[in-house]
Amino acid sequence: MYLSHLSLTNYRSYEQAEIELKPGPNILIGANGVGKTNVAEAINYLAVQHSHRVSNDHPLVRIGEDQALARGRVHRGEQAISVEYEINPGKSNRVAINRGAPQAARQAYGIFKAVLFAPEDIELIGGQPDIRRRFMDDLIVQMRPALGDARRDFERVLKQRNALLKSGRKPGAWTDEHETTLAVWNEHLSRAAARLINGRLHALRLLAAPTSKAYAELSNGNKVAGFAYQSTVPMATGQHAEVPDETELYEAILEELENAYRSERDRGVTLIGPHRDDLVITLGPAPAKGFASHGETWSLALALRLASYRVLAEDDPNPNNRPVLILDDVFAELDVARRARLAEMTRDAEQLIITAAVSADIPEELTGTHIPIQMRDGISSSGAHHESLETLKLLEANSLDELEHDEPAESSDGSTDD
């Protein structure tokens, strides 16, 4: 699988951008602040339908505009598919597939698959549980697009159930009608939650070995990377050689909801379910959160993303459905030896998208399409497939020279986000 064309309209700092991409490595080079990460983010958006940097879509739309468009042309073997997302903050996002009528964005899950590593991913290790939950859910939805509906159903039922619990908190407010409605929501919540938890546990079972292997290759250390699922449902907690099926999980969740009845009534909130679960990541015998060094944290986060790529690639028997791998500003953090190892670890990717501030950060083993990025011109592609970095270095020198003689790089809406 690869992306041959990306088009952006009113997306972050870009009023309009067109970029041609090719199979193999595509290297986006440009000074900090010119919008390289915006491109990486937009490509990943085509797969997961959200930003890795912000919790809602408002920052994705250029200031002064109501809507952004992100279009991509996806190739899977001989098949070419176009997808166009309408990003409508505060409203439902829509997608047009092969220039058809716009429909609910969830209909596009699975058409394009991608795995993005970005500097923000260190929060996978040291950040809050919701970051790790989103990591797991992005992976399972790309593996099984129908789980996107399960996630949406769970969120809808959770919202309704919480509203019911909150409405009955005042003395005398809880009625027989509340009791009957709660029983209905318990059943719906348990079924959707069982699907999500089953999907997470299945993905984590596949993710364990490649994560450990990738971390060992990146770190050259003697600590073993691992993880375990931590759940409000005891049956789901731990490491699973055999994943409980959805029926078993449904019954266990329903039982836990009944056990939590009084606590949930008192607090007016749902205490049982995948929205409360976490992924405990370990290095050796200790949890990585709070104990891992910066270098260990970086390597572990990168290992999780590389393992995710491996799981997605091997989960689908069709070799044309391997995901696109995106590495945003990763090589600057690595020494020469680890850069070479990472290049070797990613060489089988059908398409690799790399961003970097300077060409010196890119291992010589990675030759491909080089795309210089300048804020003044939006995106300009060299349009050539180079066999060395010499041409790129010349383009980079010219770009930096222009920046030095221009006003400080800034997009037309005043933002300088990268």
CATH of the domain at 330: 3.40.50.300
User: Could you tell me what percentage of the chain is helix, strand and coil, using 3-state DSSP and rounding each to the nearest 5?
Assistant: 45, 20, 35
Strand-strand pairing, 14-20 and 2-11: antiparallel
Q: What is the pTM of this model?
A: 0.87
Placement of tokens 């964005």 in the chain: 105
Shared domain check, 333 and 301: no
Q: Is the CB of residue 196 less than 8 Å from the CB of residue 155?
A: no
CA distance 173 to 160: 17
Q: How far is CA 242 from CA 190, 203, 412, in A?
A: 20, 12, 54
Shared domain check, 168 and 86: no
Please check the confidence at residue 280 and state whether its pLDDT lies above 50. Answer: yes
Residue 260 resides in a domain: yes
CATH number for the domain that contains residue 192: 1.20.1050.90
Amino acid symbol at 175:
T
**In the structure, how many helices (H) and strands (E) does the chain have?**
10, 15
Shared domain check, 315 and 329: no
pLDDT at 259: 97
Residue 208 resides in a domain: yes
pLDDT at 243: 93
The residue with greater pLDDT, 312 or 55, is 312
Please check the confidence at residue 245 and state whether its pLDDT lies above 90. Answer: yes
The first and second tokens of residue 33, run together, are 């602040």
Domain end (from 289, 320, 351): 320
Residue 408 resides in a domain: no
CA distance 105 to 102: 8
Shared domain check, 217 and 81: no
Mean pLDDT of 382-404: 40
Mean pLDDT of 374-388: 44
Shared domain check, 9 and 145: no
CA distance 134 to 140: 10
Cα Rg for the chain, rounded, in angstroms?
23
Q: Is the CB of residue 344 less than 8 Å from the CB of residue 356?
A: no
Domain end (from 288, 304, 320): 320
pLDDT at 375: 67
Mean pLDDT of 56-62: 93
Q: What is the pLDDT of residues 168-199, one digit of tens each?
A: 998 889 999 999 999 999 999 999 999 999 99
As for how many domains the chain has, the answer is 2
Please check the confidence at residue 318 and state whether its pLDDT lies above 50. Answer: yes
- Which pLDDT band, with edges at 50, 70 and 90, does 121 fall under? very high
Residue 410 resides in a domain: no
Shared domain check, 254 and 307: yes
Q: Which residues pair with 184 in a beta bridge?
A: none
Mean pLDDT of 408-412: 35
The first and second tokens of residue 344, run together, are 């070797």
Residue 138 resides in a domain: yes
Number of Cβ within 10 Å of residue 279's Cβ equals 19
CA distance 185 to 73: 41
CA distance 371 to 21: 9
- Strand, coil or helix: 13: coil
**At a CB cut-off of 8 Å and minimum separation 6, what does 417 contact?**
12, 13, 33, 35, 37, 38
Q: What is the pLDDT of residues 193-205, one digit of tens each?
A: 999 999 999 999 9
Please check the confidence at residue 395 and state whether its pLDDT lies above 70. Answer: no
Q: Which of 122-126, 213-217, 225-229, 331-335 has the lowest mean pLDDT?
A: 331-335
Shared domain check, 154 and 225: yes
Mean pLDDT of 379-395: 38
pLDDT at 398: 43
Domain end (from 320, 354, 383): 320
pLDDT at 83: 97
**At a CB cut-off of 8 Å and minimum separation 6, what does 416 contact?**
13, 33, 375, 408, 409, 410
Shared domain check, 148 and 85: no
Shared domain check, 160 and 277: yes
- Which pLDDT band, with edges at 50, 70 and 90, does 417 fall under? very low
Residue 416 resides in a domain: no
Q: Which of 10, 43, 48 is nearest to 351 (CA)?
A: 43
Identify the helix (H) or strand (E) that includes residue 71.
Answer: strand 68-76
Shared domain check, 151 and 87: no
The range of the structural domain enclosing residue 106 comes to: 1-113+322-395
Residue 412 resides in a domain: no
- Which pLDDT band, with edges at 50, 70 and 90, does 367 fall under? confident
Vertex 323: Cα angle to 37 and 89 (nearest 5) = 50
Residue 264 resides in a domain: yes
Q: What is the pLDDT of residues 3-40, one digit of tens each?
A: 999 999 999 989 999 999 999 999 999 888 888 999 99
Q: Is 271 exposed, middle or buried (0-12, 13-18, 19+ CB in 10 A)?
A: middle
Question: Percent of the chain at pLDDT above 90?
Answer: 76
Q: Which of 378, 324, 380, 370 is nearest to 351 (CA)?
A: 324
pLDDT at 175: 93
pLDDT at 387: 36
Shared domain check, 310 and 256: yes
Shared domain check, 258 and 162: yes
Average pLDDT, the chain: 88
